Structure 1
């Protein structure tokens, strides 16, 4: 599914500038919040996104645990699955050279999915629009001011407008617009980055046939490969910002040589040509200490973000978007009541994740002197964050 054109969703009607809830960011978290509010309340919602969706985005593979969330949002599993590629297994060389395969066939929930992110994000945005959310995309954010109501100043093309609302939900991803503006305390445990190469159709037949993810560790980080719909492939290397600079891994040729030096990933990279796109993304772990009962909250990566090894990204985006919508409804209709519970659940979730992540990284003992692996065990994420 193609992303909606700016002309399709950018226009405003009379009265559209005053709503009950403004959501900043129309990714999975923002769309889930908008869908929840539109399906279960009578609140007026505006969903603001600064740009058209990029077809090259991380978050390519999801587990079967995603399906109940999609069904809650009114998207049937059958119709959802047919737009994406079945994911039958996960293979990893982590803690040893041998590739260990975990088949989803035996988990009782069925297979996961390799996502077409453009189609996935566009589907959620379309669902929000059909349910009545006002979609404002693309729109440059000029400023946010508080008071009796929030005022969000925007520029759409040559036109400036200001949206007013009683409540804001920050779903702006790792840019965390409101979290930063409101000087909300944030615990960040590392400086991990991911360097992604996306390969066009026809360049990776073997991964496409296997329809499984592949993870392989190295002394300086770990590789991740996933097939995508349409015969495409995503290949990423996760490491620290310091290592990225030291090894010059933002140079595509250097990055490819590093990949070729690995055992399992290297065998597949030899079959690939030049990437269609080459991107860098921050993938550090962090959690915001959100306010207990303010006229705003956050969801998705703006509230908490996780190491990609956890596979929590999109599931967390949807579930936190749903919960943030409930917090917004309680605030607008009742003056509050759910903010503290949501805040505490995020902190507890991050605490549990940090402990699990540390145990997972401790399973890799082959490079005890390597800075990347030493830093994973020295992270402070397992400390109390409440």
Structure 2
């Protein structure tokens, strides 16, 4: 991985990025590939091998091309996705085959491999990667002071600019008391299964709605399968879906998902994630900004997660470069673009959920139609 060159101070940086997921890595790659700024990338933990089962469309390749990721090598590390099937608004599956979209197939990502690939690219381009590194304090001033515990060593980094890519923890957003608008309290429970070597798997995503939420199933590289159920936090507790027995019975009760779950062994792991939709009102011209989930996060049904992470990381890097080199100029445009994009997303999501009319008495589905923006707690 990249590090400071001979004679350079390993504490002085132009930009420190908090979080080395896709948004943070994209920001670091952009800064190192297109500018001469010194960049440190801080990640608090090693990557978890059990991550949300992301499926991305071929539109992602325009972003990875911009980041200098070789397409052939990238595709080889993941699983081709040939179609998307959904029982949404009716009991029968509607299948959309990627063969006819003019762009080719999508990919079922191995998230650990994907995140590691981006992080390696950032390091090769000269970003200083600190992982795992615990953030101890973040102090504003003429320059930011970023106090860390890296291994057994306490370090203090100095930076002209900070990009918050810390996910839903949104370290900077919280510290700076940036207003956050939230629309729901949705959660996702993911179970991970390992298929037998001789078991055939369809390389497509499967979505199926139920009275209390919706299931998402995707094959992953390495014979693994991710199955998630999206619902509200209170419904999750009522259904007791963190209990393996209750989870299995709930999955079996669905028509299409149940048929596949019957063929799978016991899950290897359960993970619960907050997946509520939210957007931060970022500052227009401060010495920091945010990207990825720290800036805005979306319902998984929108399929915006990875694409938003990469594109917002790229744009946040441009904002940082403009601030360091010229004292600003791009922050207001980035801020407003995020808010406009989120407003458009809220409208589109409401229309999508309105297509499911089979459970008019369900709290989950009714909330999706009546949700408005609310101020999230700091």
TM-score, normalised with respect to structure 1? 0.94
RMSD, aligned α-carbons: 1.7
Residues 76 and 165 (structure 1), Cα distance of their counterparts in 2 relative to 1, 3 Å cut: same
Instruction: Give the corresponding residue for 1:372.
Output: 364
Separation in 2 of the partners of 1:343 and 1:82?
A: 36
Deviates more, 1:57-66 or 1:162-171: 57-66
Q: Which runs of 5+ in 2 are unaligned?
A: none
Q: Which runs of 5+ in 1 are unaligned?
A: 1-7
Instruction: Give the corresponding residue for 2:125.
Output: 131
Q: 2:273 aligns with which of 278, 281, 302?
A: 281
Q: 1:167 aligns with which of 140, 161, 181?
A: 161
1:176-226 deviation digits (Å, cap 9, x = unpaired): 0000000000001000000000112428934x2x10000000000000000
Alignment of 1:339-378 (within 5 A): 339-378=331-370
Residues 157 and 346 (structure 1), Cα distance of their counterparts in 2 relative to 1, 3 Å cut: same
Instruction: Give the corresponding residue for 1:88.
Output: 82
1:196 partnered with 2:190 = yes
Q: 1:48 aligns with which of 39, 42, 50?
A: 42
Question: How many residue pairs were aligned?
Answer: 374
1:263 partnered with 2:255 = yes
Separation in 1 of the partners of 2:74 and 2:95?
A: 26
Deviation at 1:68, TM superposition (A): 0.4
Separation in 2 of the partners of 1:224 and 1:373?
A: 16
Question: Are 1:186 and 1:286, in contact at CA under 8 Å, matched by a contact in 2?
Answer: yes
Instruction: Give the corresponding residue for 1:154.
Output: 148
Separation in 2 of the partners of 1:96 and 1:121?
A: 36
Separation in 2 of the partners of 1:11 and 1:54?
A: 28
Q: 1:307 aligns with which of 299, 309, 326?
A: 299
Instruction: Give the corresponding residue for 1:243.
Output: 235
- SS of aligned partner of 2:10: coil
Alignment of 1:55-94 (within 5 A): 55-94=49-88
Question: Are 1:105 and 1:111, in contact at CA under 8 Å, matched by a contact in 2?
Answer: yes
Instruction: Give the corresponding residue for 2:27.
Output: 33
Separation in 2 of the partners of 1:306 and 1:120?
A: 20
- SS of aligned partner of 2:251: helix
Instruction: Give the corresponding residue for 1:317.
Output: 309
1:23-80 deviation digits (Å, cap 9, x = unpaired): 0000000000000000000000000000011111115210111000000000122221
1:205 partnered with 2:188 = no
Deviation at 1:10, TM superposition (A): 9.9
Residues 12 and 277 (structure 1), Cα distance of their counterparts in 2 relative to 1, 3 Å cut: farther
- SS of aligned partner of 1:351: helix
Separation in 1 of the partners of 2:334 and 2:233?
A: 31
Separation in 1 of the partners of 2:250 and 2:303?
A: 24
Separation in 2 of the partners of 1:258 and 1:112?
A: 29
1:234 partnered with 2:229 = no
Separation in 2 of the partners of 1:191 and 1:202?
A: 36
Residues 34 and 11 (structure 1), Cα distance of their counterparts in 2 relative to 1, 3 Å cut: closer
Residues 372 and 10 (structure 1), Cα distance of their counterparts in 2 relative to 1, 3 Å cut: farther
Deviation at 1:9, TM superposition (A): 8.2
